[in-house]
């Protein structure tokens, strides 16, 4: 019953959705030149005689985690072509520079039947793959109506999400059995997906464990190192509102013992760069923004790295990295990314999106959990004072990061079993 209700409401809500999109354009949250993609209107041609794989990811983190899978698909099938969709400007900009040949980015069609059918009609994919927790009813229903297999890779299902889906069990009972394969990150998620009706569920492990090191542009790295000189440095990576003031408070503690310290803040959303610079200035610190083309000078206390796709430059320069999104209720970002660069890693207690990775790093001595600004300052200060401790921690973290790179082969093999010719697609009313 609830599936027809959902579909009916999504059809009737067309004018409202279009108005919301227009407001998002005005707010700088949508690309006005690519707005048609949100309605399923492709801005690129489908390549002829190619096996098209549609991979849908929510934003930056999920898109980055999909890159090793995309590489495996393209390396193992010369006729394959990947369409990666996501819903944020930041992910679109990053993927423009990170996607390999024979792969393109499109903004995901919003979950309205006609728009999804329009997308499917143009791209004619052979398989639909969702990353992590991207479960959209109309996308799944329309894919199945077109005879396509639907796969959920790196499937996550928290207790809270499970309870919500269970509360709407008539919808979930109509939806989850349509998913052909769920590759869950752990046993708990697998149990939840099975209980909701998914037919084939396997525990594949976490796709993020298989991520290779982020690409590093040597010229940018050398320029930053030259500007840094021999100053001590630490990095707060992918911060969210509420964390920047914590980092600035930690910096205020740390400069008492390390007066020439440089603190680098990389905001998760670069458009917050000016706001963070103003916060730092109001706290009495000299701050500059990378988006303005500036490098730190000896007088710079806070360097706001508000650009996309350059975080590896700072991982490679900073021996100590605080992984943000973990002192505010965001769920924490991937703590393995800095581990590939021999960094000592710290994060807060709110790491539920990467809980298994966090536990493994803590267990092997590759990470430290901090609770607040004072604790963050204390732990960073300890590592600055005794670099050998940081080297030991970084070595343990690097070993853990490299342990699971082969995992992607297992995940690819399970996805590859569904790469088969697609059926005919059509666009209805």
100-135 pLDDT, tens digit per residue, is 999 999 999 999 999 999 999 999 999 999 999 888
Catalogue the E-assigned strands of 240-366.
262-267, 287-289, 302-304, 320-323, 344-347
- With pLDDT > 70 as the criterion, what percentage of the chain qualifies? 97
pLDDT score of 422 more than 50: no
pLDDT over 90 at 208, yes or no: no
The pTM for the full model equals 0.78
Residue 353 DSSP code: G
Per-residue pLDDT reduced to its tens digit, 288-316: 999 999 999 999 999 999 998 899 999 99
Considering only residues 425 and 328, tell me which one the structure prediction assigns the higher pLDDT: 328
The yes-or-no answer to whether 2-212+407-416 and 218-403 have a common fold is yes
Name the class of domain 218-403: alpha beta
82 vs 74: CA distance, rounded Å: 8
The pLDDT of residue 72 is 94
Region for 186 from its dihedrals, namely left if φ exceeds 0, alpha if ψ lies in -120 to 50, beta otherwise: beta
Averaged pLDDT for residues 169-195: 93
Torsion of CA 181, 112, 37, 95, to 10 degrees: -30
Token pair listed for 79: 């006729």
Is 62 labeled as catalytic in the residue annotation?
yes
Structure tokens at 185: 């990150």
Catalytic pick among 37, 62, 132, 243: 62
Q: Strand, helix or coil at 267?
A: strand
pLDDT at residue 428 in the model: 42
160-164, 192-196, 365-369: segment of lowest average pLDDT: 160-164
Spatial contact of 57 and 63, defined as CB atoms under 8 Å apart: yes
Choose the most confident range, by mean pLDDT, from 126-135, 203-212, 271-280. Answer: 271-280
State residue 127 phi and psi, 5-degree precision.
Answer: -155, 150
Contacts (Cβ under 8 Å, ≥6 apart) of 56: 84, 85, 86, 108, 128, 129, 130, 131, 134, 139
**Euclidean distance between CA atoms 79 and 76, whole angstroms:** 9
DSSP letter (8 states) at residue 217? -
Residues shown for the chain: 429
Of the candidates 332, 405, 400, 413, the one whose C-alpha atom is nearest the C-alpha of residue 366 is 400
User: Does the pLDDT value for residue 425 go beyond 60?
Assistant: no
b/e sequence 50-65, b meaning 16+ C-beta within 10 Å: bbbbbbbbbbbbbbbb
**Residue 168's Cα: distance from chain center in Å?**
27
| All structural domains of the chain with their residue ranges | 2-212+407-416, 218-403
Angstrom CA distances, 368 to 245, 358, 382, 399, 406, stand at 20, 9, 12, 16, 26
If you average pLDDT over every residue of the chain, what do you get? 93
> Helix H segments across 27-158?
60-76, 89-98, 113-123, 137-145
Angstrom distances, CA of residue 277 to CA of 42, 90, 248, 280: 38, 20, 11, 5
Tell me what pLDDT residue 131 has: 95
Cα–Cα dist 188/203, whole Å: 9
Span of 11-15, 58-62, 185-189, 266-270 with lowest mean pLDDT: 11-15
pLDDT at residue 205, rounded to an integer: 84
pLDDT score, position 47: 95
Reported confidence tier of residue 276, pLDDT bands at 50, 70, 90: very high
Band of residue 356 on the pLDDT scale cut at 50, 70, 90 = confident
Which of 65, 52, 37, 21 has its CA nearest to residue 334? 65
Taking the CB of residue 421, how many other CB atoms lie within 10 A of it? 8
Q: Name the CATH topology of 2-212+407-416.
A: Rossmann fold (3.40.50)
Residue whose pair of structure tokens reads 């999504």 in the numeric block: 10
Task: Retrieve residue 327's tokens.
Answer: 């002192």
Tell me the pLDDT band of 429, cut-offs 50, 70 and 90.
Answer: very low
- Mention every residue, 6+ apart, whose C-beta is less than 8 A from residue 116: 40, 109, 138, 139, 142, 143
């Amino acid at each position: 019953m609830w599936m027809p209700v959902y579909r009916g409401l999504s059809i009737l809500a067309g004018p409202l959705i279009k108005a919301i999109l227009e407001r998002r354009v005005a707010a700088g949250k949508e690309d006005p030149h690519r707005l048609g993609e949100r309605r399923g209107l492709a801005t690129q041609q489908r390549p002829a005689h190619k096996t098209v794989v549609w991979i849908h990811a929510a934003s930056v983190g999920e898109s980055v985690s999909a890159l090793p899978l995309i590489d495996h698909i393209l390396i193992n099938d010369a006729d394959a072509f990947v369409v990666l969709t996501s819903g944020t400007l930041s992910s679109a900009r990053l993927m423009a520079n990170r996607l390999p040949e024979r792969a393109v980015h499109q903004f995901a069609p919003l979950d309205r039947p006609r728009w999804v059918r329009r997308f499917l009609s143009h791209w004619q994919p052979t398989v639909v793959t969702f990353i992590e927790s991207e479960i959209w009813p109309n996308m799944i229903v329309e894919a199945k109506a077109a005879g396509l297999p639907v796969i959920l890779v790196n499937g996550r299902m928290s207790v809270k999400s499970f309870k919500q889906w269970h509360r709407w069990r008539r919808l979930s009972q109509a939806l989850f059995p349509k998913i052909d394969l769920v590759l869950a990150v752990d046993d708990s998620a697998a149990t939840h997906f099975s209980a909701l009706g998914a037919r084939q569920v396997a525990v594949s492990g976490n796709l993020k464990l298989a991520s290779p090191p982020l690409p590093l542009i040597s010229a940018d790295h050398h320029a930053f190192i030259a500007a840094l000189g021999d100053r001590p440095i630490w990095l707060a990576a992918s911060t969210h509102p509420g964390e920047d003031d914590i980092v600035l408070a930690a910096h205020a503690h740390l400069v008492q013992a390390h007066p020439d310290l440089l603190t680098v803040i990389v905001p998760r959303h670069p458009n917050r760069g000016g706001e963070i610079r103003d916060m730092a200035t109001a706290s009495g610190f000299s701050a500059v923004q990378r988006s303005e083309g500036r490098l730190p000078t000896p007088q710079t206390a806070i360097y706001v790295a508000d650009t996309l796709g350059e975080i590896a430059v700072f991982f490679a320069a900073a021996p100590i990295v605080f992984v943000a999104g973990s002192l505010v209720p965001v769920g924490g970002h991937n703590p393995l990314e800095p581990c590939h660069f021999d960094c000592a890693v710290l994060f807060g207690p709110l790491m539920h999106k990467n809980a298994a990775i966090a536990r493994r790093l803590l267990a092997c001595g590759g990470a430290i959990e901090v609770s607040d600004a004072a604790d963050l300052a204390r732990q960073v200060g300890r590592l600055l004072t005794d670099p050998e401790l940081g080297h030991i921690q970084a070595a343990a973290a690097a070993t853990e990061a490299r342990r699971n790179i082969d995992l992607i082969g297992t995940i690819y093999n399970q996805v590859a079993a569904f790469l088969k010719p697609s059926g005919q697609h059509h666009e209805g009313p």
